């Protein structure tokens, strides 16, 4: 008997009919001889409805209260799914984050899971019940309700799988797997049957929306086998995220990710002194703003330019903080741009293949696309270009690195 954790997102539980369909799939999984834990998101549209409600009461609501509000979204879904399961004669029991005891830190809106209590959940599973858990939410040590931020339900699912030592964590979504890039952007994108966890991590952190980065990190850390599947089709095994360190026949490039959610900030003319980077990023971090790419050019004339990217939603706030810092540092000026896209090539095969970077830059140059920033890791190369080039750049690279699916004519896929 295997223990399976399944996660269904907002679209998969978007209305009573879809909830009934999820219930049938869960029942089917249990009937096949598995114990099943189901993690669900709020019904699609619900989080937006709640956010709008809060906005009509307070333009910047206290984060603690916003979490209390948003957490109701998943609570509605766990109740409805448990009812739908009961209707099929399948015993089920719902749990809020508070009831499981998903203990998090107290960073409201982007809390991190610290610990999961599993006694009661295990008891229910052993009694033959399906356990339905509210994703996206937890409680801090003072029983304040916290939320994990958008996509947090994936994290909840993987964390539950890790805590329960599940055999597989299945993420059901509206796509049938991980593609070489977003098929809506590039019709020739190919579905991957497997991808390494490292690659998935880079893909996720580079803007591939299939899985949230934190859930992949969790899966990586706790060695949870993760599978991405479609909740709207019964066929296909989706994409398995593996732990192989050195897959034998790794392609050079697994996929191309892009992220339009970032904004770029530059402090120009910063004195080239030790401690400057910390001085600039300290207040940003203290304001709970996450920084992604960081680039600092070599100094000339005793000053340097310091550039980094943040989430677009944090752009205005970060820029305000930066003005203050720039004054303290006697920097020349602060500039920024929130119309950018980060495009990343990802692949473990990159380690053993030279020249990927130059091939990438050449392909972009051939289309006259100017590169604003470059960052690299062992298995990833990211560039920042103007947002308007997104589609052109991604398609160009997809073709340049032989990722196109040539088995299907382009017309059919459009």
Whether 259 and 341 have beta carbons less than 8 Å apart is answered as yes
Binders of a second copy among residues 171 to 200 (CB under 8 A) are none
Nearest by Cα to 221 from 198, 248, 249:
198
Print the binding letters for residues 1-40 with a second copy: x by CB under 8 A, - otherwise. Answer: ---------------x--xx--------------------
**H helical segments located in 207-303:** 213-222, 276-286
Q: Which is nearer to a second copy, 115 or 402 (CB)?
A: 115
Print the binding letters for residues 72-111 with a second copy: x by CB under 8 A, - otherwise. Answer: x--xx-xxx-xxx-xx-----xx-x-xx------------
Q: For the CB of residue 99, give the shortest distance to a second copy in the complex, in Å.
A: 6
Dist. CA 135–CA 131, nearest whole Å = 12
Q: Which is nearer to a second copy, 86 or 375 (CB)?
A: 86
Q: Which is nearer to a second copy, 94 or 215 (CB)?
A: 94
Whether 206 and 380 have beta carbons less than 8 Å apart is answered as yes
Print the binding letters for residues 40-59 with a second copy: x by CB under 8 A, - otherwise. Answer: ----------x--xx-xxx-
Whether 5 and 222 have beta carbons less than 8 Å apart is answered as no
Distances (CA, A) of 357 to 47, 347, 361, 374: 40, 12, 6, 10
Q: Which is nearer to a second copy, 79 or 294 (CB)?
A: 79
**H helical segments located in 127-234:** 152-163, 197-205, 213-222
Of positions 64, 110, 112, 209, contacts a second copy by CB under 8 A: 64
133 in contact with a second copy (CB under 8 A):
no
Dist. CA 223–CA 161, nearest whole Å = 10
Whether 336 and 265 have beta carbons less than 8 Å apart is answered as yes
The residue ranges that bind a second copy (CB under 8 A) are 16, 19-20, 50, 53-54, 56-58, 61-62, 64-66, 68-69, 71-72, 75-76, 78-80, 82-84, 86-87, 93-94, 96, 98-99, 143-145
């Amino acid at each position: 008997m295997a223990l399976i954790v399944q996660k269904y997102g907002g679209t998969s539980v978007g209305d009573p009919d879809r909830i009934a369909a999820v219930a049938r799939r869960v029942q089917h999984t249990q009937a096949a001889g598995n114990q099943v834990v189901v993690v669900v998101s709020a019904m699609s549209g619900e989080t937006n409805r709640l956010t709008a409600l809060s906005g009509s009461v307070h333009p910047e609501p206290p984060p603690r209260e916003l979490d209390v509000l948003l957490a109701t979204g998943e609570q509605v879904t766990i109740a409805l799914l448990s009812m739908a399961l009961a209707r099929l004669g399948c015993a089920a029991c719902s749990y809020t984050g508070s009831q499981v005891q998903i203990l998090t830190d107290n960073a409201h809106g982007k809390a991190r899971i610290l610990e999961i209590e599993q006694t009661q959940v295990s008891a229910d599973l052993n009694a033959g019940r399906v356990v339905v858990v509210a994703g996206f939410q937890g409680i801090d040590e003072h029983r304040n309700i916290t939320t994990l931020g958008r996509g947090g339900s994936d994290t909840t699912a993987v964390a539950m799988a890790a805590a329960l030592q599940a055999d597989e964590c299945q993420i059901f979504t509206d796509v049938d797997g991980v593609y070489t890039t977003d098929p809506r952007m590039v019709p020739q994108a190919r579905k991957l049957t497997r991808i390494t966890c490292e690659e998935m991590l880079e893909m996720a952190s580079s803007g591939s929306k299939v899985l949230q980065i934190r859930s992949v990190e969790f899966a990586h850390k706790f060695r949870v086998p993760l599978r991405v599947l479609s909740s709207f089709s019964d066929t296909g095994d989706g994409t398995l995220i593996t732990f192989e360190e050195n897959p034998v026949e790794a392609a050079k490039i697994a996929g191309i990710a892009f992220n339009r959610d970032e904004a770029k900030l530059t402090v120009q003319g910063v004195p080239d002194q030790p401690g400057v980077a910390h001085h600039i990023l300290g207040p940003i971090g203290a304001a709970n703003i996450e920084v992604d790419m960081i680039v600092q050019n070599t100094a000339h004339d005793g000053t340097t330019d310091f550039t980094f990217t943040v989430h677009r939603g944090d752009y205005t706030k970060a820029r305000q903080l930066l003005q203050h810092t720039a004054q303290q540092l006697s920097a020349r000026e602060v500039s920024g741009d929130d119309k950018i896209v980060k495009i990343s090539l990802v692949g473990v095969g990159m380690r053993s293949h030279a020249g990927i970077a130059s091939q990438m830059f050449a392909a972009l140059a051939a289309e006259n696309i100017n590169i604003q920033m470059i960052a690299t890791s062992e298995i990833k190369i990211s560039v920042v270009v103007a947002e308007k080039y997104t589609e052109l750049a991604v398609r160009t690279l997809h073709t340049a690195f032989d990722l196109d699916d040539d088995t299907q004519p382009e017309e059919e896929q459009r």
